[in-house]
Chains A and B, each alone.
Chain A
Amino acid sequence: MTDELTHPNIPVPEDLKGTVTLATWEKFYNWCRARSVWPMFFGLACCAFEMIAMATSRFDFARFGMEVMRASPRQADLMIVAGTVTKKMAPQVVRLYNQMAEPRYVVSMGACANGGGPFKEGYSVVSGIDKLIPVDVYVPGCPPTPQALLHGFVTLHKMIENTKYKDMIWYHNRGQGEEFAIPVLGPDIFDPRQIPLIQSEAAKTPVAANDSE
């Protein structure tokens, strides 16, 4: 367990190996962080059941230090977007993300959350949650098996372990992270960031948006 922490440039005497580990503080800090990620109990669709299956005894994500799923975003580090993000649900997903404390991570689980999935062609599905909030790890599959999701967590762990101090928000004393714009349910959903674009498009195209493709 401790071997993965050992700094390659600092030799540990042979007889102390396995007992003593010399690592940088950054590495140790990240190692601790990676092993105590608390996910939010937040399921959207089909994938949620594979997520719960991962939490139960066969795949048991407590082995990764994830232990409890928090129902409140304030107590969670990790949002697993498990399932189809519909337009009606999108404002809530973004609001939940805004409520999470830094450092926060997003795992996009399954085809629907990644890019719309089989329901992409439909009118009420957001084609990819990464249009609204930043995503750290994408787990493909429809639905990903619990093991595929665990592989996503292994990927996330590696990412956390390779984070640098100076990339962290608290290091720059910026306090809370960025607030992301919450989409509004209009005649169709719209992102406040896109208002100028929508206005210019509306002025540009006198034909119905249906025919604009």
Chain B
Amino acid sequence: MKVIIDWLASCGGCDVSILDLGVKILDVIKEFEIVYWPVALDFKKEDLKALEKADIAIVNGAVRTSEQEEQLKLIRDKVDVLIAYGSCACFGGIPGLGNQFSSEEILKRAYVETPSTTEGKIPQEVTKMDGFELTLPKFLDKVRALDDVVEVDYYVPGCPPSTSTIEEMVDLMLKLKKGEKPEKKVLASDKSLCYDCPRFKSLVRPPTVNRPHEIVADQEKCFLEQGIICLGFVTRGGCGARCIKANMPCRGCYGKVPNAFDFGTEAITAIAMAGTGEDYLPPMRITEAVDKIKDVVGLIYQFSLPKSRLGDLK
């Protein structure tokens, strides 16, 4: 079976994560022929175009530029099964946070306004120089997840996906090789991370909101009940609670639980529980616990802003 691995708007971590398979990667190589993997070997778009057909594509990264869009469509045409790999491919990921701003604002910020820039210049799609015409792909208005551009068959969430999730993907690929078509579209748990979380819960409302640097988190107790915002309750499990075990709260890279309407707003619903003893506060200070959150969108849509139904309201 022929496999394409490609990256779009991505940090490269997803490609590296495949190596987390360790020795199991040898099985992958035994069973599958990797015909295109630009991160690992020097492939060019022409090589992709030249490919007649492949079976499976594993694509990480979101779609930000015209080139990425073209690349993705090209891949879709070549393969039977497209796997969105990583949070960017599944939900837009960290680059998706760019959707708070227009493309002009982003380019201006990056190439002109940053403190380290002097006499900045915004890159143009076409630049004429010394009689030559230099071209760049178009910087599109919005970041999109893969399924907003083409049809996606399977989703492997995570930033990056954890080793167990990648192993699950290998199992999926082996099944596909046998001609099966597994129904489970998202390679993560249908339960939230809380279902797997080893921490102790007292079943109390969070007394306040503590930013992670403000307190030393108790390693045994539920983060949320300590006032540290952990989004495990709205996030699919399946990651193996990696962050939780490293005493870091969940930020939601596995995406929303299946029945939630929207990641961010559902997150708000429970975050708003924080802050007790309001009866003793003057009315003006009732919301003070949540007022400590400096960047609401950055918190609730860290990995999924392009998929935000709130964003759709605009």
Question: Do A and B interact?
Answer: no
Please give the residue numbers on chain B whose beta carbons come within 8 Å of chain A beta carbons, in ascending order.
none
